[in-house]
Amino acid sequence: MNAGNNVYMNKRVDIQDEIAKTYFSAMPKKHGKKKPKWRSFLPWAVAILALFFAAAILIFNSSIEVKVRFLGEIPSLPIDKGAYKIGENLDKGIFLVEAGVPNKDIVKNAYFMGDAKEFSIDRPDELVLCNSRGSGWANYTIELKEPIDLDKLDIRYMARGVRGDEFLSLVIVDSNKRSYRLEKDLSSAMGKDWQRYTISFRRVKKAVDISNISTIKFEFGTLTVGNYPSAVMSLKDVYITKTGRLKWL
């Protein structure tokens, strides 16, 4: 009797175990080592680091063009009078026009055009630019003996106006007679005192052949830059120098 009861009880326990396994079983929890939390952030860290290096490369390999108006200064760098060949002594600068006299070793012709022809005067110490009535354009033109590459060169000059509200803008012409006039902005506005201007041309590469510039013009007409009729300005010490560049540190 006891044996029968034991068999019955064992079967009952087996059936209950099967039922429990079928309806109440759960996935066993794994008790292995937990993954460190920092591993979940590893992909993000790698992505951020890659972006940082890409930005660093972009910044350190880039440069900012400099087009600045220097107030109240004169060209303080000494000019070697014997170094007139393009490509020599560019750190110090090479005059195209010193005071009011063109450098004949580099300049083929220099003259007034348009409304500048009637009253403008070239003096030993400066050029007096006068905008008369009529054509609407007036300039002082500098024709070079050999084309120059302005991609890595700036043009610097001293200028002032009689009233202090005049404008003087540069026009460059390449060997194929294509021309480009710089826009009227702070770099072309004049005051009543002598100011030094530094103009960079790297941003106009697509407009003209910047590597073969044969003519440089200083434009000050009524229609071209908005000067009033009879406006009078002074210009001197036009020279070229290496392009100033600022880099992010």
Residue 92: which domain range?
A: 64-246
* In-domain check, residue 43: no
- Please write the tens of the pLDDT for every residue from 45-83: 777 877 776 666 655 544 333 333 332 232 333 333 343
- pTM greater than 0.75: no
**CATH (domain of 79):** 2.60.120.260
For the beta carbon of residue 101, count every other beta carbon within 10 angstroms: 17
Is the pLDDT higher at 101 or at 3? Answer: 101
pLDDT value at residue 176? 95
Q: How many domains does the chain have?
A: 1
Cα R_g (the chain), whole angstroms: 39
CA distance 201 to 241: 12
CA distance 96 to 240: 7
Q: Say if residue 35's pLDDT is above 80.
A: no
* In-domain check, residue 90: yes
The mean pLDDT value of the chain amounts to 77
Q: Say if residue 141's pLDDT is above 60.
A: yes
DSSP category for residue 247 = -
CA distance 231 to 233: 7
* In-domain check, residue 167: yes
* In-domain check, residue 112: yes
* In-domain check, residue 32: no
* In-domain check, residue 76: yes
DSSP category for residue 224 = H
- Please write the tens of the pLDDT for every residue from 68-126: 333 223 233 333 334 344 444 444 689 999 999 999 999 999 999 999 999 999 999 99
Mean pLDDT of 144-158: 94
